[in-house]
Amino acid sequence: MHTDPSRRRFIAAAGLAPLLLYGGRWAEALGRTPNTKPIPASGEALAIIGMGTSETLDVALDDPALPELGDVLRQFFADGGQLIDSSPMYGNAESVVGALLPKVDTKTRPIIATKVWTDGREAGIEQMRTSLARLGVERIDLMQIHNLRDWRTHLPTLREWKREGRIRYLGITTSHGRDHAALAEIMRGETLDFVQFSYSIADRRAETELLPIAADKGIATLVNRPFERGELFRRTRGLALPDWAADIQCASWGQVFLKYVVSHPAVTCTIPATSKLTHMVDNMQAGFGPLPDAELRTRMESWFAAL
Ligand SMILES: NC(=O)c1ccc[n+]([C@@H]2O[C@H](COP(=O)([O-])OP(=O)(O)OC[C@H]3O[C@@H](n4cnc5c(N)ncnc54)[C@H](OP(=O)(O)O)[C@@H]3O)[C@@H](O)[C@H]2O)c1
């Protein structure tokens, strides 16, 4: 069994050397099963912690950081991760996913999500074909219309591609609390498999309309920016974890932020992004063990509001 030297150094530094015996399959070694939620459109089980790729995977294919990014991806799958979210908007990220995936032993079936982010039917089709080539796949699991861009044009194409088996699920995204009224209208009027938007302990605007509509209509939800792009770590730097963190088996702030998001009943999966192996190890632990119940969620909200 081969373990990359950088990974070996990290594991040793973290005092986890015995787990090298298991080739990084920590969850398996510990006999733990990651939490999943069903995708309403199909009933397929989806691991609640996915992975974003914006900025973190936007490197050249000969970048010296590529081996560590391979370790990050390997850890994601070793801990039962499934869904990777990308976009043509994220520079070289789709190509990096495509280059790394064949080198990674995926215990769970990867669920590849990307987006169409352009105007016009033909340009959309061309962009989606390019995404397939860059990701190195024949079929995209989830194709999303990025930031609602030209959605009336792209939605019929996505339905056609789904009928033809070129995509399995279709959806629409937004972020930063933008366009909630427009997205809510689309969710009410169209049949969608997934929607994606921002939601975190510091930004709960999605609770007003988007999450209730998703629950009501049976639309799977992907939550982006669960860490407010890292801002939540700056707000909690140096602060000890509250006592209640142990009740939900959280050993870090990252796990607290992620468990808060995925414990909302209408959230299916969240997609934190990281370029660091240590952070991936940390984040994936949020996929295991108990989630906060409604009462603890309220305590977490009050605690955070008082910061
Ligand atoms: N409109 C859209 O469709 C849309 C918009 C925004 C985002 N998204 C998707 O959602 C994904 C997630 O959002 P995001 O990347 O904007 O923000 P995010 O996941 O909230 O935050 C990412 C930042 O958190 C840091 N981080 C991750 N894990 C950490 C840990 N355990 N400890 C400390 N720092 C940690 C990362 O830095 P390190 O690399 O140093 O770990 C990175 O700077 C994106 O990558 C993208 O796939 C979609």
Structure tokens at 202: 């510091």
Residue from 162, 171, 120 nearest 139 by CA: 162
Q: Are residues 90 and 169 in the same domain?
A: yes
Tell whether 8 is covered by a domain. yes
> With a cut of 50, which residues of the chain have pLDDT below it?
1-26
State the chain's mean pLDDT as an integer: 91
Q: Are residues 27 and 114 in the same domain?
A: no
Q: Are residues 134 and 24 in the same domain?
A: no
CB 286, CB 258: distance < 8 Å = yes
Q: Are residues 19 and 49 in the same domain?
A: no
Specify the pLDDT at position 84: 98
Structure tokens at 264: 């909302």
Atom of ligand 1 nearest to the CA of 200: 20
Residue matched to tokens 């990974």: 7
- Domain extent, residue 53, equals 36-227+245-305
Residue matched to tokens 């490197």: 59
Specify the pLDDT at position 231: 96
Specify the pLDDT at position 106: 81
CA 178 – CA 205 distance, rounded (Å): 10
Q: Are residues 6 and 62 in the same domain?
A: no
CB 128, CB 94: distance < 8 Å = no
Specify the pLDDT at position 17: 37
| Residue with CA nearest ligand 1 atom 31 | 279
Q: Are residues 152 and 174 in the same domain?
A: yes
Strands (E), 111-206: 111-116, 140-145, 167-173, 194-198
Phi-psi region of 7 (alpha: psi -120 to 50; beta: other; left: phi over 0): alpha
| Residue with CA nearest ligand 1 atom 48 | 224
Specify the pLDDT at position 27: 54
If one residue of 54, 92, 174 were mutated to test the ligand 1 pocket, choosing by the most ligand atoms within 8 A of its CB, it would be 54
